């Protein structure tokens, strides 16, 4: 039976990143993934699932050797970010404030995954098993025995759960979660706009939920609409022409004229694992925490998890001490981001006039806050 230093369950963006990182440290790595990402073809329509990859995450992907492959597919840099409740009370951020070429890139999740899989394919100390899934983990004193659905068995010192919000690794390790439902759904709509490629992402707050725009390559964009489950279901029942008309009626004028390409939706939930490791099983990314997607921080937090885990294991080895340090660093930061987003979300949903006045005054004040505004931007970008 082959023994690995690291077994990664889940080969998505975060799982592939942790596999590449450990392989570059010289570890023997097993990756188990149930679905191979579809190869890139420039004629394919844009995927619905996109992420705002921060400059810090871009730097990390460059360290892993994946960014060039990602950038050669479809990415859209953005230099500006605006957020507002009332149009005259806006907070604007620009990459020039931090002397950056851009604040980040809007990228399809699959393109990030493919770039990392390209690196994995070139590393001889990564064994990739797909399509396959984890069935069981048996804990031994200094290693874990993994049984896969295919019937194959392997040993590993650490098992990394990068298998998403409904993590099987987390369940097998009996790690509890604190969770609740926001009672809202998020609709994603890929649109063609009447504008050339844009370099701005913006978000307007409304009593029913935020409405956002993310630029995509060419004249395309991703429209994000947060609302009640009933409202989102009614929107998805429309044909593309009706949906485009409704979006243009309900969204700010900045959107311009659009046609709908495709649409989908998902419920908003928050989860946070009560611990990040248990008996050699380690959680990263959505397996450890999910966050309100309000600020587009999801995968960036996952990459920060990976970076912290790699740094601790590099200095302390594959030890419990390294895992304790990893948990201490990341759990606190993830909880802070989750809580901050929840407060932000609740404040901007409140229609009570004094609160509405206060939040608009705060946005206007933030626009002219100088160093404080820069520090907020640095934190959001992970710099």
- pLDDT tens for each residue of 173-205: 999 999 888 889 999 999 999 999 999 999 998
What's the pLDDT score for residue 240? 98
Helix (H) or strand (E) holding 264: strand 258-273
Q: What's the average pLDDT block by block, 10 residues per block, for the chain (383 residues)?
A: 96 99 99 97 94 94 98 96 77 85 95 99 98 96 95 98 97 95 92 95 88 95 96 98 98 96 93 96 97 74 98 97 98 86 58 47 50 62 63
What's the pLDDT score for residue 379? 63
Backbone region of residue 77 per phi and psi (left: phi > 0; alpha: psi in -120 to 50; beta: other values): beta
Backbone region of residue 65 per phi and psi (left: phi > 0; alpha: psi in -120 to 50; beta: other values): left
Q: 131 preceded by cis ω (within 30°)?
A: yes
What's the pLDDT score for residue 339? 75
pLDDT, averaged across the chain: 90
Say if pTM beats, i.e. exceeds, 0.95. no
Backbone region of residue 322 per phi and psi (left: phi > 0; alpha: psi in -120 to 50; beta: other values): alpha
- Rounded to 5°, the CA angle 309-329-119 comes to 25
- Nearest to 273, CA basis, from 323, 335, 321, 329: 335
CA distance 185 to 244: 19
What's the pLDDT score for residue 364? 47
CA distance 58 to 348: 30
What's the pLDDT score for residue 265? 96
How do residues 210-256 score in pLDDT, each as one tens digit?
899 999 999 999 999 999 999 999 999 999 999 999 999 999 999 99
């Amino acid at each position: 039976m082959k023994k690995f230093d690291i077994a990664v369950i889940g080969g998505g963006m975060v799982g592939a990143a942790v596999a590449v990182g450990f392989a570059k440290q010289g570890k023997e790595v097993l990756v188990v993934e149930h679905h191979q990402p579809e190869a890139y073809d420039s004629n394919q329509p844009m995927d619905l699932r996109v992420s705002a990859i921060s400059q810090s995450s871009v730097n990390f992907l460059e360290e892993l050797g994946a960014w060039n492959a990602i950038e050669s597919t479809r990415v859209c840099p953005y230099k500006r970010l605006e957020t507002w409740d009332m149009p005259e009370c806006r907070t604007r951020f620009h990459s020039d404030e931090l002397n950056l070429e851009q604040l980040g890139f809007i990228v399809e999740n699959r393109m990030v995954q493919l770039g990392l899989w390209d690196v994995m394919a070139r590393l001889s100390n990564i064994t990739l098993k797909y399509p396959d899934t984890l069935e069981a983990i048996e804990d031994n004193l200094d290693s874990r025995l993994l049984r896969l659905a295919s019937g194959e068995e392997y040993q590993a010192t650490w098992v990394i759960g990068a298998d998403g919000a409904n993590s099987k690794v987390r369940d097998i390790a009996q790690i509890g979660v604190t969770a609740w439902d926001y009672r809202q759904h998020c609709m994603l709509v890929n649109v063609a706009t009447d504008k050339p490629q844009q370099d701005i992402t913006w978000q307007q707050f409304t009593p029913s939920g935020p409405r956002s725009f993310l630029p995509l390559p060419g004249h395309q964009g991703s429209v994000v609409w947060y609302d009640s489950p009933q409202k989102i279901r009614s929107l998805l029942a429309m044909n593309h022409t009706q949906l485009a008309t409704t979006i243009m009626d309900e969204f700010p004028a900045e959107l311009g004229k659009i046609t709908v390409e495709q649409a989908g939706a998902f419920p908003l939930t928050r989860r946070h694992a009560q611990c990040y490791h248990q008996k050699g099983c380690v959680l990263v990314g959505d397996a450890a925490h999910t966050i309100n997607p309000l600020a587009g921080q999801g995968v960036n937090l996952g990459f920060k998890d990976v970076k912290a885990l790699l740094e601790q294991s590099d200095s302390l080895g594959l030890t419990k001490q390294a895992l304790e340090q990893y948990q201490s660093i990341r759990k606190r930061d993830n909880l802070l981001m989750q809580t901050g987003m929840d407060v932000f979300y609740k404040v901007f949903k409140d229609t009570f006039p004094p609160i509405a006045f206060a939040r608009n005054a705060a946005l206007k004040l933030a626009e002219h806050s100088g160093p404080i505004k820069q520090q907020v931007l640095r934190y959001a970008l992970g710099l």
